[in-house]
Amino acid sequence: MPTLQFVLFLSIAFLLGAVIGSFLNVCIYRIPAGESVVSPRSRCPHCQTTIRWYHNLPIVSWVLLRGRCAYCGAAFSVRYPLVEALTGALFALFLYRFGLHPVTPVAWLLVAALVAISVIDLDHQIIPDVISLPGIPVGFLCSFAVPWVSWQSSLLGILLGGGILLAIALGYEWLTKQEGMGLGDVKLLAMLGAFLGAAAILPIIFLASVMGTLVGVPLMLVTRAGRKLAIPFGPFLASAALVYLFFVDKIDPLARWYGAVIIYWWQNLGGG
C-alpha cells in the first residue's frame, strides 16, 4: 500500500509533468517552424491575442474553456491537453518506479525529450536535431547518475546506436535504392544509447520493430497504401526506450550479458 505521503509525491510529479507538457506543446509547435521556444509568449494562432496565464493552465484551462480560445472562440486541438496529461502520467509513473532517487529526474528528462520528438515526428516525419543532438552529451552526463549505466557503456551506446542504425539505413538504401529510415532515427538512437547504455540498443530496436509491425501492417491493410505509407519510426523507438527503462532490471539477464561482452571487448581490445 502506498503511503499518503507517496500519493502526494505522485500527484506533485503529475502536476510538474503537466506543466512541462505545456512547454512541450510550445516546442512541438515552434521547433519545426524554426521559431524560438522562449519568446514571445503563447498566442492564439487564430486571433493572435496573447494567452493569459489563467487561460494557459495545463489540462484545466482547456477543459474549462471547452477547447476554445477565450477571445475569439477558435478551436484548440484536443492534442494540447493530451500531451500534458501524457507527460504528467509518465512523470508520475517513473517516480512510482524509481522513487526519490537521482534516476527519476533523468527519466523525466528523457520522457520530456521523447514526447516532443514523437509528436513532431508524427506531424512532420522529422526528428529535430535541436533535441536529439544536445541529447547525446546530456545523456552521457546523466549516465553518471544512473547506477546501471557506466560512462563507458554510455559512450559505447552512442557509437552503437549511431553505428548500427546508420549501417542498416545505408544498407537498405543500397539494396532498394530508396530511403527507408531517416538519419533522424540514427541520431535519436545515439541519444538513447547515451542515456540508457550500450546494452539497451538491441532490445530497443527489437521492441520498436515489433511494435512498428503490429501497428504498421494493419494500417497498411486498412489504408491500402502499401509500401508508400510512411510511418515514422521515432515514436516506436521512443516508446520502446521508455518500456526498456521501466523494466530495466527485468530485461537485465540477457541485456547485461551482451552488454558485458561489449564492455569486455572494449576494455581489452578497444579502450585498453
Q: Which residues are at the interface with Zn ion (CB under 5 A)?
A: 44, 46-47, 69, 71-72, 74
> For residues 47 and 33, what is the distance between their CA atoms, to the nearest angstrom?
19
Q: Which residues contact 118 (CB under 8 A, 6 or more apart)?
A: 234, 235, 238, 239
- CA distances from residue 156 to 103, 146, 170 in whole angstroms, order as listed: 20, 15, 20
Q: How far is the CB of 52 from Zn ion (least distance, A)?
A: 12
- CB closer to Zn ion out of 69 and 136: 69
Q: How far is the CB of 84 from Zn ion (least distance, A)?
A: 19
* Least distance CB 157 / Zn ion (angstroms): 45
Nearer to Zn ion, 75 or 260 (CB): 75
Q: Which residues contact 228 (CB under 8 A, 6 or more apart)?
A: none
Residue 33 CB, nearest approach to Zn ion (Å): 18
Ranges of H-type helices in 197-247 = 201-223, 234-246
Which residue lies nearer to Zn ion by CB, 65 or 74?
A: 74
47 or 254, CB closer to Zn ion?
Answer: 47
In order of 167, 221, 222, the CA distances from 227 in angstroms are 21, 10, 13
What is the Rg, in whole angstroms, of the alpha carbon atoms belonging to the chain?
20
Minimum distance between the CB of residue 65 and Zn ion, rounded to whole angstroms?
11
Cβ proximity to Zn ion: between 54 and 144 the closer is 54
Question: Residue holding cell 542504425?
Answer: 165
